[in-house]
Chains A and B, each alone.
Chain A
Amino acid sequence: MTETMIRLEGLTKRFPGQTEPAVEGLTMDILEGEIVVLVGPSGCGKTTTMKLINRLIEPTSGRIFLEGVDITRSNPDQLRRRIGYVIQQIGLFPHMTIFENIATVPRMLRWEEDRIRRRVDELLDMVGMDPPRYRDRYPKELSGGQRQRVGVARALSADPPVMLMDEPFGAIDPITRERLQDEFLRIQSEIRKTIVFVTHDIDEAIKMGDRIAILRERSQIAQYDVPEVILANPADEFVKDFIGSGAALKRLGFSFVQDLELAQWPTARIDDDRDTMLRAIRRALANRGWLLLLDDQRRPRRWVTARDLQRADTPTGAMGQEVKAVVPSEATLADALNEMIRTQSSFAVVVDASGAYRGTIDFTVVTTTGDDAAAGGLPGQAQANDEQAGEVGGRSLRP
């Protein structure tokens, strides 16, 4: 059972000289081991909200609980040593080596020098940087992506239960950003930290977030839910606008091929004789005209018609058409759609992990499923959203 790691209770922040509070009466629970993304237009107070958690900004009123303990009045420096902090500009100390940068918090916590050395090497390994090669370098000798990795390693140095990340990948080129995001998700799947992640980019929020809080001005929560539900069922116009016009397409990234009912085609082994193949075509319940030839491991090889089979001069291995669009069953509908577009096919063959034939998926199935895929495709989400659950009943979806 997941516990609440961070609880914000009626948090308000009023900056002197401003009529409107930056954050007003914010209450939210952040569960242990989850990445919660605070996302919203600029000026909505999301960064202020994040800084209230490690008290870089002191709340005007309200309370903050960390692991059930009220930290609103505790020593801020000691609190911050238990909360990893990564900002967009990274803020590595330029006059210190990579080792010294990462060792900063462990040193303040008076760890043994030996333990610090082991920890720094372990972290550099974790973020994919060779310790002997990078330990003694200075930040200016690293690329932007490497600095960001060191920033993450430094935030993790004392193994804090909580990490705050303020647009951590915002200043990095798109290709490197994508790689760092993937790497970070891989690391997170191992370390399971509770992470509060701030971004203004809804796509990044959808990719990184276990849960997304869409904030409007004064840090008011417009919707706080898992990304699938937000995409399928935006709470209001504000959320809908913020998600943007690509929502339906983005939703396909949360529905999986294996959750759909796959269409079946007559199949035969590629080394069967032609009569067996012809019989297989004719025996098929609905005569679809095409026969799928599989190899000895049931991997799809070629599509053939009865006419191809009657043309005796070609060997069976070269008959008909090559199978082009193939998707693994654990792929998302977005992957399937991409594969169809790439191969200019109206459907794709679905295979299991070993590459063996499972069925096929049709373009129209993908497009019609898009409407309610989020609710139906992921049963876990249905409970989180009763309204949507009522519509599950699945046309092409499995019950």
Chain B
Amino acid sequence: MPNPPLTSHERNGVSFWEYLSRNWDDVLLLTRDHATIVAVAIAISTAIGVGLGILTYRNQTARTVVLQITGVFLTIPSFALYALLASVPFLGIGGKPVVIALTMYALLPIIRNTVAGLLGVDSAIVESAQGMGMGRWRRLFRIELPLAWPVVITGIRVSTLLIIGIAALGAVVNGPGLGELILEGLNNATSPFGLALALAGFVGVVALGILFDALFFLLTPLTVPRGIK
């Protein structure tokens, strides 16, 4: 992590606002890294989650199995999961175990909402599409997914907000992002400087949450077809 450009003498008396104004660039950089790792994990888990949702929504057993397994993922404490993944030889420490852990945590809401969205499409609409000679995949991509999309995107939104917080803990395996500030703050817990660091990390995570949420707020009406708004 970048060292705050402060001498040890200065560190002891620094306030949160002083810290932020002097280290703005670093905090911004860490926020960007944090956002990137969340975005990468969400992209991967959306691809996997929507895919698994599509593959399993018609089959009750497959659906239940997938939802139960991904449900178990969510119960694993993130600290333990990071440690576990970091100990896998070819992963090691850094961004990789964090992305994998975040992807695992993001799966359940996305799969769940994909399944719910697809099952919620009016069966009469699907039947008339089939009756008009639309094949399985055309039906899925032209009719079912666009109609299920508002529900699917809500799942992605929930997952995103969920993993923004979890990503902060990625710093324990040297993952990138605002967690570095929080961890460093924890190491200096007895000094006001520690508080400033932790606060900067905290505020950054919350700000990122608001930013992502706003992004979805803008993105949703843009991607939901006009006729079903």
A binding-site residues for B, Cβ under 8 Å: 54, 56, 76-81, 83, 85, 87-97, 104-105, 108, 138-140, 154, 164
Contact = CB atoms under 8 A, between A and B. Distances in A.
Contacts of B127: 56, 87, 91
A95 B133 contact: no
B133 A138 contact: no
A104 B132 contact: yes
Contact of A89 (B124, B143, B227): B124
Contact of B227 (A77, A95, A108): A95
A140 B227 contact: yes
Contacts of B228: 94-95, 140
Residue from the set A77, A92, A164 with the largest chain B CB neighbour count within 10 Å: A77
B134 A77 contact: yes
A99 to B, nearest CB: 12
Interface residues of B, number: 21
Contact of A96 (B124, B133, B135, B227): B227
13 contacts: A56-B127, A76-B133, A80-B132, A81-B132, A81-B133, A85-B132, A89-B128, A91-B124, A91-B125, A94-B125, A94-B228, A95-B227, A154-B132
The 9 closest A-B pairs by CB, nearest first: A91-B128, A95-B225, A85-B131, A89-B124, A138-B227, A80-B133, A81-B133, A91-B124, A95-B227
Interface in B196-229: 225-228
B143 A93 contact: yes
Interface string B112-147: 000000000010111111111111001000010011
Contacts of A94: 125, 147, 227-228
Given A95-B226, A95-B227, A96-B227, A89 B130 contact: no
A108 B130 CA distance: 12
Nearest to B149: A95
A76 B226 CA distance: 31
B129 A91 contact: yes
Contact of B130 (A80, A92, A138): A80
Contacts of A83: 131
A90 B128 contact: yes
A108 B124 contact: no
A76 B135 CA distance: 9
A90 B225 CA distance: 20
Given A94-B227, A138-B227, A85 B128 contact: yes
A379 B19 CA distance: 103
Interface string B10-52: 0000000000000000000000000000000000000000000
Given A93-B143, A95-B147, A95-B228, A108 B125 contact: no
A54 B132 CA distance: 9
Residue from the set B126, B133, B228 with the largest chain A CB neighbour count within 10 Å: B133
A47 to B, nearest CB: 11
Contact of A138 (B135, B143, B147, B226): B226
Nearest to B147: A95
Nearest to A54: B131
Nearest to A100: B227
A87 B133 contact: no
A182 B90 CA distance: 74
B124 A139 contact: no
A211 B197 CA distance: 84
A57 to B, nearest CB: 11
A56 B131 contact: yes
A105 B124 contact: no
B131 A87 contact: yes
Contacts of A87: 124, 127-128, 131
A139 B227 contact: yes
Contacts of B133: 76-81, 105, 108
Contacts of B225: 95-96
A79 B131 CA distance: 10
A92 B125 CA distance: 6
